[in-house]
Structure 1
Amino acid sequence: MPCGGCTRLLPDPAFAQKNLSLLSLGWIKELQAINRTDRYIDLGSCVSLNGVLALPNIPALDPLKKALLTIGSASIRNRATLGGNICGRDSFGSAFPALSAMEATVELRSAAGTQWLSIHDLVGQDNLPAIPAGSFLDRVRVPLRDWEHNCIVRKGPGLLPGDTNITLTIVANIEKDAISEIHIVLTGRQLVRNRALEMRLTGKKLPLPAKESENCHHDFLESAVEAGLPAGQAIAVADSVRAFLVDLSGGAS
């Protein structure tokens, strides 16, 4: 099994019983590379989470950096890799919703060659993680597009991804006192994204009527419950969506 920092495997009490052979990719220089152009930044899959956080001020990376800061302690982030966080097979890591909202793409490598995919292609029809068999993540490409308004909300007791941890990412831009674009992504065991809600909000003049914020709260709550979130968590993330929209209305200019 290929691995980066192994921070998902080592805390697993069942790991020692699985008798797995691990292939460490963490020291391959190519997978640690960071390259930037005018339009995007490429992050190697074995760049550590702290390595991403240490990059100079790049406003386009703000949502991703906020997401990474919710993960474990500094020592865990120093060992954990971006690719490892993305490629969980039992649940989504906290970087995934940020990269989804930011419309990142990924390069996968296999014996057949390499291919570029939308990060959404790593989500199966059941909204569970679906990493293609026999492939490993080579690099992540993040568009250098600023999101003036963004927030990350993580809820759950654990330091590592799992069923009890969920992460909400919201990014939005405003033009001429209207929402020009908004993406709302929630991940835990499943990915939740209500694109109909996003389309409905796009183009809306600010401030939003209170009824509109309440309708969005209801719709996202419904999506979260349908995805199997416990009622308490579903209500909490729907509350966060509503709070973001209220703040967005107050920040319109």
Structure 2
Amino acid sequence: MSKSNQTFLIARTLSDVFYHLKNVNGLQIRGGGTGKFPFAEKVLAISSIPELSTIEKKERFIEFGSAVTLSRILDVGRTNMSPVLYDAIKTIASESVRNIATIGGNICSGCEENGTQKSTLWGPLLALGAVLEFRKKPNDSKMIPFSQFKKVPEGYLLTKVRVPQNESEVAIFKRVGPSRRITEDSASFVFLADMENDSIASIKIILAGPIVFHPVEIENQILYTKLPLTRDFIEKKVAEAESAYDMKFSGQKSKRLLKAQFLNMLRYSFEQLM
């Protein structure tokens, strides 16, 4: 029977993590360990670090330690966070998996180095304007807007996820693809809209899965549109979204079904403003 060459380390404090990041080459950080990616030869478990397991609710945002489990986030309650974040987490795996899986692990599984498929929380965190905190040592940290996040900076650890408290009047999360698991057909759709003086004051449209589609130009065109929306206006904007999608992902035949699903979800979301 061959011996395993893998080394598993357990960090009890952030100082432990910083030490290992500095001195151990090829180190893989793991939270709950529920991801589909294979374990490296050298693995550091961080789920036992108290500083990474905190939840702080502020007036304008809620901050989760990167090792907070998805079940603990659900325990905060749907009324105490953005509904699209709560609804997205409810669709992830089973309750037993959510008891172990962490928010940090879900985010990092969608990094560029792990492929193009984005995790379930990618869409909601992008739409909500989340900010990620990374630390290399006690006095060396980076705050990276989620919209700019591609991968974990070399030598750093994801420590906190700051999510703005969003109370959009229309907040819709939809997931496509197989239930409870991520495949190349999985994607998350998020639509947020706020109204003021009978017009649209803010709007976000996000699709995240094997591709990320955020039609900013269409969002800007819709701002200040008078309500209620008309059927003609809705169909015009859906057609424009289809053209923008085709232009960005031309030649990707595998995305045709996803496009049809996206357009149906977008049309449904606009109809909530009629």
TM-score tier (shorter) = 0.7 to 0.9
Distance in 2 of aligned mates of 1:151 and 1:57: 13
Distance in 1 of aligned mates of 2:50 and 2:266: 40
Deviation at 1:158, TM superposition (A): 5.7
Deviation at 1:57, TM superposition (A): 4.9
Q: What is the aligned partner in structure 1 of residue 128 from structure 2?
A: 102
CA contact (8 A) 2:185 2:258 kept: no
Please give the secondary structure, in 1, of the residue aligned with 2:76: coil
Stretches of structure 1 lacking an aligned partner (at least 5 in a row): 124-129
Matching of residues 101-120 of structure 1 within 5 Å: 101-110=127-136, 113-120=140-147
Q: Does 1:173 find its partner at 2:199? A: no
Q: How many aligned positions are there? A: 237
Stretches of structure 2 lacking an aligned partner (at least 5 in a row): 1-27
User: Do the aligned partners of residues 239 and 57 (structure 1) sit closer, same or farther apart at CA in structure 2, a change above 3 Å counting?
Assistant: closer
Deviation at 1:110, TM superposition (A): 2.5
Matching of residues 87-166 of structure 1 within 5 Å: 87-88=108-109, 89=111, 90=115, 91-110=117-136, 113-123=140-150, 130-157=151-178, 159-166=180-187
Percent identity over paired residues: 26
CA contact (8 A) 1:221 1:237 kept: no
User: Do the aligned partners of residues 32 and 19 (structure 1) sit closer, same or farther apart at CA in structure 2, a change above 3 Å counting?
Assistant: closer
Q: Does 1:241 find its partner at 2:266? A: yes
Q: Does 1:6 find its partner at 2:6? A: no
User: Do the aligned partners of residues 224 and 161 (structure 1) sit closer, same or farther apart at CA in structure 2, a change above 3 Å counting?
Assistant: farther
Q: What is the aligned partner in structure 2 of residue 127 from structure 1?
A: none
Please give the secondary structure, in 1, of the residue aligned with 2:42: coil
- Partner amino acid, structure 2, of 1:105: V
Runs of 4+ in 1 over 4 A off after TM superposition: none
User: Do the aligned partners of residues 45 and 140 (structure 1) sit closer, same or farther apart at CA in structure 2, a change above 3 Å counting?
Assistant: same
Q: Does 1:230 find its partner at 2:255? A: yes
Distance in 1 of aligned mates of 2:101 and 2:212: 22
- Partner amino acid, structure 2, of 1:240: M
Q: State the TM-score, normalized to the length of structure 1.
A: 0.86
Which of 1 and 2 has greater Rg? 2
Q: What is the aligned partner in structure 1 of residue 216 from structure 2?
A: 195
Give a deviation string over 1:65-121, Cα, whole Å, max 9, x none.
Answer: 011111111111111111111112322211111111111111012258211111111
> What root-mean-square deviation, in Å, do the aligned CA atoms of Structure 1 and Structure 2 show?
1.9
User: Do the aligned partners of residues 113 and 38 (structure 1) sit closer, same or farther apart at CA in structure 2, a change above 3 Å counting?
Assistant: same
Distance in 2 of aligned mates of 1:161 and 1:224: 22
